[in-house]
Amino acid sequence: MAIGLALGAGLLEVTVRLFFPTTDFLWQWDPAIGMKLVPGKRGRSVKPHLFDVPVEVNSVSFRDREHAVAKPVNTKRIILLGDSFVEAIQVPFEHSITSVLETRLHSALGNVEVMNFGVSGTGTARQYLALREYGLRYKPDLVLLFFVGNDISDNSRRLQGLPYVPYPQTTSDGNLVRDESGQPLFTAFADQSSRLSFITGLVRDHWKSYRFVREWMDNSPALNRMLYRIGLMSTPPEAVNVRAADNFGFYEIYRVPPRPVWADAWKVTEQLLLSVRDLAQTNGAQFGVVLIPASWEVYPNAWSAVLNESPEMRSTNMDLDEPSKRLTRFLAANNVIAFNLLPEFRNRATTSAPLYLQGDAHWTAEGHRLAADLLVEPTAAMLSPRSAVYLNPADRKR
């Protein structure tokens, strides 16, 4: 039996390596922000027929080159916060927003370091912690937070409830709980080791077949629920994006008005955005928010496909522009600079190469280039000696 199992495992490993390219195991639990990349990891990110790119992780566990903690003389530093759009393991690093924006700003300003602190799956809450625990030591001059619609549910324990990541603590009326210094407080969280961790720990870094099976399981909600019920999975399956009855999952962000639990998540998210602003400005950095549109907000055909999958949304008041309109109003009212990419992405959708990967919804290299091109002029202006004129969006309208 042992020999048969070993031969079967070996055959599966050979088959996966030859015929089913699979992403290497890139992430690990982190006591500060829940999850981040494995420090010093070298591997590949793969989605068959879409991309196969090398991934190199620096010693601080982010997809970037190494940066000295001490800031070089006459150098400006920009920190990028965000989720998988900023982490950008779908494209080579030199084609990602981090690298392209840095190259553009070198031409405009000279010595500029753009630093990537993006981690897949994070929302505004964990991005706040990434800045506080890891980013501020590099003395940034500017912090740009890249906001995606799923950040709203990622910030809500009621909507996500993952035990291995922190969530902001809230009062009974939905406001952030803060400590004596005004910083948000977060819920307790811990590493969630599976009952099979003694096996998975040995094979996950070296066996492609493990990663292949794990990805298959992660994409099978019914299997996840079954394994959780029988105790073989310690993390409850995520339900926020599972559409059922009148629950539209992630697409609830477009419902007008939002349902109560989503209204609470919106409220927490807006307070968190101001907390990131305050944290950056208290430490001598300017702050801006980049609003990333989803692919179905840019391409009408993509939204039609979503509606075909959930036709009940056609009879519900859904506004694809609602998240960007709401956040733009809120940020302007609180003197936070917002870079809304949606209008120009829509303008370029019919005249440029595809901006999003088909079937993946992340930016292509062209999408990263367009975002960098749209951001280079305003960020250069913010870093220039006359950047004070950019601090109040209302002033720019006068």
Q: Which residues contact 13 (CB under 8 A, 6 or more apart)?
A: 207, 208, 209
Cβ(241)–Cβ(45) below 8 Å = no
Secondary structure string (H, E, C) spanning 138-151: HCCCEEEEEECCCH
Instruction: Compute the distance between CA of residue 123 and CA of residue 85 in angstroms, rounded to an integer.
Output: 12
Cα torsion 217, 222, 228, 232: sign: negative
Angle between helices 221-229 and 208-218 (to 10 degrees): 100
CA torsion 236→240→244→250, rounded to 10°?
-160
Instruction: Compute the distance between CA of residue 21 and CA of residue 322 in angstroms, rounded to an integer.
Output: 38
Q: Which residues contact 397 (CB under 8 A, 6 or more apart)?
A: none
pLDDT reported for residue 202: 65
Q: Which pLDDT tens digits describe the chain residue by residue (398 residues)? A: 888 887 887 787 677 666 667 778 899 899 999 999 999 999 999 988 899 999 999 999 999 999 999 999 999 999 999 999 999 999 999 999 999 999 999 988 989 999 999 999 999 999 999 999 999 999 999 999 999 999 999 999 988 888 899 999 999 998 999 999 999 999 999 987 666 666 666 666 666 676 767 666 666 666 766 766 776 555 555 555 555 556 788 899 999 999 999 999 999 999 999 999 999 999 999 999 999 999 999 999 999 999 998 888 999 999 999 999 999 999 999 999 999 999 999 999 988 899 999 988 999 999 999 999 999 999 999 998 654 444 433 343 33
Residue 52, token pair as written in the block: 């196969």
Query: In the CATH scheme, what is the code of domain 30-191+247-397?
Result: 3.40.50.1110
Residue 266, token pair as written in the block: 């919106």
Entry pTM: 0.88
Instruction: Compute the distance between CA of residue 379 and CA of residue 369 in angstroms, rounded to an integer.
Output: 15
What is residue 184's three-state secondary structure? Answer: strand
Instruction: Compute the distance between CA of residue 303 and CA of residue 51 in angstroms, rounded to an integer.
Output: 23
Dump the DSSP string for 111-125. SEEEEEEE-TT--HH
pLDDT reported for residue 368: 98
